[in-house]
A and B are shown apart, each in its own frame.
Chain A
């Protein structure tokens, strides 16, 4: 079963995942899966469009390198602007969640 991500959160998750260091595409998917306790499975078909959009927007930069399995791979990492975007989206997301929780608890 692969639950759908809440809309708009893919960027947030990718940014957060890359905050600790550069990763290549598959590694990002794997990290998100593991970090969420195998709950969140990123739709791989929508990973690369998202990565490239963030590239165009200037939040990420990319470089070719070598992966753990000694294969050529393209590594993505955050730019300073990407970091700012991460903070912003993190704040916005948590605020949204709190608001929803308030409604659910007290409405």
Chain B
């Protein structure tokens, strides 16, 4: 029975018209009938009309048969609301703009968070792909990996992030790549836009990323089959990846190409496995542990067992958050703040609606007397707020598209290529609908609840004087806004101060004097370890002769650009039990600490002789040796024994908020093979302005080997990665803080202006009775101050608790309960509040008592 009704619904306007006509014709038929009986036409028509009754009533009753009354009401309400809003363009603009800002920023952060944390890599059927880790290690050597590949079981592929020297024309450049086993494209099923992936056995092929192809090769359409000179060898381009390719590494890592790992190379790779469909993760893990046992039998390792500590993770989905915990927390903080912003915007609009509702008391009273119930009035107001929310959502989505496009194009200036490809998808739409709905409810529930108290006949009288409590609904809203704004501002202030402190914080070594020199050699030119050691020594000597160089030393890590944490268990000669001390690990040459300006607290630096020596920092010494001097003691890292020859002062190694981080240094030795085998890095202490050394050092290195990819940079200019969290946090949160403050000021202004209007008669009376202007000013500012004070109190207390999780991102000199921050924030809020009250106060002063007392 419902179905025909729906059919009628679609044609209802046609039915409406024909109904009116039908009723008219009915009357005429009746009249005609009476005329035939001899009654004059006028009288006949009159009788026919009387007999029929009210056509309007009949028409309405008839229409009800094919209408859904609630739907008709809703459409009417929406039309009415739209008309009313059109008549107040300023209100509409402010409301939609506030909502657009709130929703746009919120969804943009959401898109970014989704992309960075849970976006699926570009693989075929991610549900049957897992990452496996054996023996508690994150990587597996190529030899056991090849063994697993040759077993006739689950297909296995390996990947590793790396670098190559790309030579084009006269320039050599260091480029980031993904090294993969040749069966990678087959096993993982990565979609390719042009050409193809690798065939098994290919070693000199390369697959380009879309970005590289466009930016560096000008999107050459005939690129397939051409050769690129990588690490001194020609590599044939076999394919180009699509623009929306996402790597298995995640986090927006965007290498320039994929190259195959040559068979037999001694590299460690991340392991990916494709398992049969329909298996639970535990079953997959069982099979992989079994593989581990096979490896233990065929090629056992001294330090660990493959079958121990096996970890198996899916390649997509929320589990990734385990690995990226601090990043996830960061995004959670951003989302929380941006949701507060949206809340402030919604409260603004709600307050505005409440103000409008109070001017429509008459209208509601009339509606009530015409038979509208409470539910009907609530539906009316909810329709209005839904319309506003809908407009805000649409505008917010547009803003989101704009913002995400901007974000996608930002170059963060990091040492590792990271790019985000933000596309709108169903998750975004679902989230936007959710917050749109939430906003509509938040906006509409308060005015609707107010209206539901009903408007009786008394309301028709004009008396608008409210002598009610100080805590009216609108005031509560503004107090809530102020509190939320305080929380946002506090977060922003903390990050801003953090950024300032980070830039000025002493990192424990002479950052401003250091220049780093890195050479990526062509491996073929230096095939033996001896040749590489020779070139390293020659490079070091050559650097030392450049005028202005105070000292230099080799290193495996560039501070603030590289990070490596070793976390194994260790024993010492003083401690019989094994302990776990996760520590920063680096290999450094003789004179490293002197070059960097890190004080030696005990013992000595490395020399050109000696073996199995380590130098530790004071935090490590404290953890592993307590109050005893570690000099001369031994540490057993798994089964490797090392003797401690020196203790250095703590410094920062990779991040600005490194604080008392344990560190262990071994003597620099050329790796036999692997990623860093052809990479030389030197730290140079400049006796003069570091910038002036860049060119001479570069030329010196190129004179040594013209085919090397040389990078020379003062360390102070390479702080992009280290300062990233502070910069991003300060930037984003700063913007949000300003927006929140702006919205709150507008909300406060709105309330104060309304308050003055409401009290015009009262103020006129006071002035007529002789009140001084100062008294009037105090009246207005006093009310504003009370509101701000209440909001400040709530906000500051909330901020004290809610900003605790931020401590992880802050450097040690900034604490989340630092009084200076809170004082600053309070002052800013007070200033904004004063500004918001200023204009209404001026208006209050200008009130002419004669006019005011007659004001209705």
Contacts and interface: CB of A to CB of B under 8 A. Distances in A.
Nearest to B36: A69
A73 B51 contact: no
Nearest to A73: B25
Contacts of B28: 71
Contact of A44 (B21, B22, B58): B58
Contact of A49 (B30, B54, B64): B64
Contacts of A24: 25-26, 29
Contacts of B23: 48
Contacts of B1: 56-58
B65 interface: yes
A19 to B, nearest CB: 21
Interface in B46-85: 51-54, 57-59, 61-62, 64-66
25 contacts: A25-B22, A25-B26, A26-B29, A43-B53, A44-B30, A44-B53, A45-B54, A45-B57, A46-B61, A48-B19, A48-B58, A49-B61, A49-B65, A51-B62, A52-B65, A56-B66, A57-B4, A64-B18, A67-B29, A71-B25, A71-B28, A71-B32, A72-B21, A72-B25, A73-B22
A95 interface: no
A49 B29 contact: no
Interface of A: 24-27, 29-30, 43-49, 51-53, 55-58, 64, 67, 69, 71-74
A17 B553 CA distance: 111
Contacts of A72: 21, 25
A93 B589 CA distance: 110
A44 B30 CA distance: 11
A3 B26 CA distance: 22
B91 interface: no
Contact of A53 (B18, B53, B58, B65): B65
Contact of B52 (A44, A49, A51): A44
Closest 4 A/B residue pairs (Cβ):
A45-B53, A26-B29, A49-B61, A52-B65
A60 B618 CA distance: 96
A72 B527 CA distance: 103
B29 A48 contact: no
A48 B22 contact: yes
Interface residues of B, number: 28
Contacts of A74: 18, 22, 25
Contact of A45 (B8, B19, B33, B58): B58
Nearest to A24: B29
A91 B59 CA distance: 32
Interface in B677-712: none
Contacts of B290: none
Contacts of A55: 65
B5 interface: yes
B31 to A, nearest CB: 10
B58 A26 contact: no
A56 B29 contact: no
B8 to A, nearest CB: 7
A30 B30 CA distance: 9
B53 A69 contact: no
A56 B51 contact: no
A44 B26 contact: yes
Contact of B29 (A47, A58, A64, A69): A69
A34 to B, nearest CB: 11
